[in-house]
Amino acid sequence: MTDQPATTTPPPPVVHSGPPEGDAAVSIRNLYKSFGQKVAVNGLTLSVPRGTFFGLVGPNGAGKSTTLKISTGLLRPDGGDVWVAGMDVWADPRAVKATIGVVPEDLRLFERLTGQELLEYVGLLRGFERDVCRHRANELLEVMDLEDAAGRLVLDYSTGMRKKIALGAAILHRPSVLFLDEPFESVDPLSVRALREILTQLVNNGATVVFSSHVMEVVERLCDHVAVVHAGSVVASGPTAQVCNGRRLEDVFADAVGHAHTARTLDWL
């Protein structure tokens, strides 16, 4: 994950409150996170409805990756609340991690295992019987076109193959909420199509996918809800069709972050 701090104003103190109202898969309220005097997340509030494919977009340094790290229990916030699947992330992080799946941008995998071993090992860690782990691993390797690489060490996988095996590990236990940070980066088009079908099936079966990407076309095509993050806060959020209102998401995004398009040329070209 590559987000850098966005501003230089320290966050105010935040009083934690009780459970959120409604039935959101993810509820973030008044979230703050700073690194020294630099603020990465600045009072961010967001509600992700259950059963949605939710896109999170924003410029580099907007706070997307930091927000996802906090929401998945990988980074402790300075203030605010995050509830996932009805649970307070920081009151019971182990329970939350048992029900979610995560594919961060900065992947950390067990590289000395083969692809097959990695998926089976993750399944065992999740508490499944060995035969169930093997069956699900085999199916995932087939769907992700990794059968020929099943016996190779993850250390020798390409970046795209690592993305695919990481996604397989993240969904093997059928999470209720799946967090993805730039999951299609360096993945070939045919594999992207296969992964999209898997994610769509997951959502159709009642799970929620929170998807962060810089590729507006992918978010606009995949996500039924979207939020635009800028300078550590949400500046636009809602159903994708409503947020776009007949326009391209790229144009809505540019307007939301105050980036006026001006044609520029290089006189030395």
The domain in which residue 251 lies consists of: 24-256
Percent of the chain with pLDDT over 70: 90
With respect to residue 269, please indicate whether it lies within any of the assigned structural domains.
Answer: no
Pairwise CA distance, residues 241 & 256, whole Å: 16
Question: Does 266 reside within a domain?
Answer: no
Q: Rounded to the nearest 5 degrees, what angle is found at the Cα of 93, between the Cα atoms of 203 and 199? A: 15
Please report whether residue 123 resides in a domain: yes
CATH number at residue 30: 3.40.50.300
189-203 pLDDT, tens digit per residue, is 888 888 888 899 999
The tens digit of pLDDT for each residue in 203-260 reads 999 999 999 988 888 899 899 999 999 999 999 999 999 999 999 999 998 888 776 5
* Structural domain includes residue 3: no
- Are the CB atoms for 61 and 33 separated by under 8 Å? no
Within a domain: 48:
yes
The model's confidence at residue 59, banded by pLDDT at 50, 70 and 90, is: confident
Residue 11 lies in a domain: no
In the chain, the number of structural domains is 1
DSSP code string of 130-191: HHHHHHHHHHHHHHTT-GGGTTSBGGG--HHHHHHHHHHHHHTT--SEEEEESTTTT--HHH
Band of pLDDT at residue 156, cut at 50, 70 and 90: very high
Asked whether residue 219 is domain-assigned, the answer is: yes
Paired sense of beta strands 208-212 and 53-57, if any: parallel
61 is a domain residue: yes
Q: pLDDT tens, 102-141?
A: 998 887 899 999 999 999 999 999 999 999 999 999 999 9
Residue predicted with more confidence, 6 or 83: 83
Q: What is the mean pLDDT of the chain?
A: 88
